[in-house]
Structure 1
Amino acid sequence: MLLVRIDPRDLPHRLLAWSRLVARLRSEYRAVHGRRLRLFRPRSYTEKMQWRKAFDRNPAYPRILDKVAVRKRIERRAGADLLVPVQWVGKRPIRIPFDELKAPYVLKSTHACGHVIMVDPDDEPDLPLIRRRARKWLTVDHSLHRAEWGYSKIPPRLVVETRVGGQDPPLERRVFVFGGKAHVVNTVVTEDGRIRNAAFHDLGWNRLQWWFTREPLPGPWPRPDRLDAMIAAAEAVAADLDHARVDFFDGGDQIWIGEVTLYSWSGLSKFSPAQADADLGAAWPLHRPVRRALRTILTRDPVGV
């Protein structure tokens, strides 16, 4: 039985706002995937991601998505040796201590995606330009971009991280965890400044012929030396979540957790073959989606409209 307290004066406005969000999600989903979104009874991975965006109000999500706050979870569950070193955290770009920073480093916002400036040892960074960009980042509410609720509760800040691996950046390994168990690993490389999802493997390191956006790079891709450690750490960090993607930097003999991702590609990247979307969706244990969605609709305001 669904028992919630509802203020009848708020209900018409709230239902109208929710209808707009549902229409937005369905429109965006159809534009990418070419099919109707089963939002209230989702099956595929990308459908369940739309459900999470709209209806899952897990209070832990903002702390997980915050690139600084999540460090406590990583340290507590996987160990401090997996943390990327941090050189500075703050709210005011004018106070970034550029004279004291040790390159190579990366300046990021803590509350959004895609806010990244890399500085190498031989660079002569345009500091006024960097500060202007950082000030602009601080005005962004990333939750509005793709209706991802978890970002709406993160205080905007800046962080400077040491770029691990030196000037030769390590590979990225993204471990998909469902119900506390790792399922697949996505290896990522950067080509000409562009991120490319090079390969997917199962936990036995068998190549999966999955891709999206761009076809995968040819192999072979050797089994990572620290694969077992990555899997164990990912499962520890995501143990209490129905799904999370734990992103590692793989330096061969050393690994670091870069971040924990809850809204992978916002569910708006098209997998090939379609069975990949179905397989990941089947692994995601999403319980009572209709009841939970109705509770959120009746008691919470939507984000992204």
Structure 2
Amino acid sequence: MKYLNRTLLAGITLWCWIRYPLPTLHTLRRARRLPCAGLPVTGNDKFFWRKIFDHDPRFVIVSDKLACKEWVAARVPELSIASVLWKGTDPSRIPDALLRHNAVFKANHGCGTNHLIHQGHYDRRHVEQLGSRWMSQGHGRRHHEWGYFGITRQLFLEEMIAPDTGGPDELKIYTFGSRVVRLVHISGRFQNMRANVWYFDQAGQAIRSGERAAVAPPSSTQPLPPAIDEALAIARKLGQEFDHVRVDLLWDGERLWFGELTLYNQAGHFPGRLGTHKDSPLTQHWTVLDSSFFRRQLSGWRNWYRHALQRELT
């Protein structure tokens, strides 16, 4: 029985490589090994598996930057969320009056689609060109980030948080169910950017790590924000519904704000040993058995595969 189980899982892995060659090659290039999709072991394997098999309808909601605001507000009503000043599909219809203040121009369906407008300094033509380009481009196809596929594309203008302080601190909190495992604290986003990595012991105590974050060098003197306990509680509340999600919060010096929820860290990749080693804390705490794949109705070979994978992981 065990031999047949392993044969089925190996066959599923081979099928994934053939059926999804581009995301397979992207994973190979970044992780320097082919993804074991049939029996996901490492963090990067689990991201690849999520893209192919875990098509939770909520992924589309939380990947949509507009829909996610409402989803989060319903669960954590006390959390501040930046106001939407305008939304639509045609950037030429943005009122000039809204562009004469601090604002952030965004697209709801992509990554890296943020354009800052400080104190009304903007180029109308550039804003419209950006918006038109964003509307013409999908997101997630290259790395097969399934959660983005079903988003109805929109542009929106959002209030800017802490425009006079060089921007808020960012807290990127890695949750696995209701457990927080890793945090990246980014400060000085628009000035002298620094990023510290923190982990948490069994008692929930924060431990500064010597690991260098991907976005910036560390600061040995930068403490966590005073609202860190509140931030962690919010992250646990939002994270408890998923096997893994990164909860991004902002700290303006006075209160916490919602940033976004990220299902595909770095397009589905944990950097370095975090994503490629079985003993990585991110790998060890991510249990795909907690995903929606093991709760929803399935038929045919996917149902057989689910039972085989469940037998192997339990």
Same fold (TM over 0.5): yes
How far 1:64 moved relative to its partner?
0.6
Please state if 1:218 is matched with 2:193.
no
The structure, 1 or 2, with the larger RCO (C-alpha pairs under 8 Å, 6+ apart) is: 1
Map 1:35-74 onto structure 2 (within 5 A): 35-74=33-72
TM-score when scaled to structure 2? 0.79
C-alpha distance 297-118 of structure 1, shift in aligned 2 (>3 A): farther
Kindly provide the CA deviation profile for residues 78-129 of structure 1, in whole angstroms up to 9, marking residues without a partner as x: 1154211221111211111132346221100001111111010162x11012
Question: Hey, what does 2:132 align to over in structure 1?
Answer: 135
Match of 2:289 among 287, 290, 298: 287
SS at match of 2:226: coil
Q: Is the 8 A contact 1:212 1:270 kept in 2?
A: no
When residues 64 and 130 of structure 1 are mapped into structure 2, their CA distance, relative to the original with a 3 A threshold, is same
1:145 deviation in Å? 2.5
Q: Structure 2: where are the runs of 5+ without partners?
A: 1-13, 306-314
1:167, 1:296 → 2: CA distance? 54
Q: State the partner residue of 1:7.
A: none
In structure 2, the CA distance between the partners of 1:128 and 1:122, relative to structure 1 (3 Å rule), is closer
Q: Distance in 2 between matches of 1:210 and 1:38?
A: 26
2:259 is matched with: 258
Asked if the contact 1:213/1:269 (under 8 Å) is kept, the reply is no
Q: Equivalent residue of 1:137, what SS?
A: helix
Contact map agreement 2:162 2:168 (CA 8 A) in 1: yes
Distance 1:21 1:172 in 2: 38
Conserved in 2, the CA contact under 8 Å of 1:210 and 1:271?
Answer: no
Tell me, yes or no, if structure 1 residue 161 matches structure 2 residue 158.
Answer: yes
Q: CA deviation at 1:209?
A: 2.6
Please show how residues 92-107 of structure 1 align to structure 2 within 5 Å: 92-101=90-99, 103-107=101-105
Residue 267 of structure 1: aligned partner: 268
Q: SS where residue 22 of structure 2 aligns?
A: helix
The residue identity in structure 2 corresponding to 1:128 is R
What is the deviation of 1:263? 0.5
Label 1:252 to 1:210 Cα distance change in 2 as closer, same or farther (>3 A): same
Equivalent in the alignment of 2:280: 278
Deviation at 1:56, TM superposition (A): 1.0
Contact 2:278 2:284 in 1 (8 A): no
Following the alignment from structure 2 to structure 1, what is the Cα–Cα distance between the partners of residues 102 and 56? 36
The count of aligned residue pairs is: 282
Q: CA deviation at 1:266?
A: 1.8
Q: For 1:197-216, list aligned pairs within 5 A.
A: 197-202=195-200, 203-211=204-212, 213=214, 216=217
CA distance in 1, matches of 2:278, 2:155: 36
Aligned-residue Cα RMSD (Å) equals: 3.0
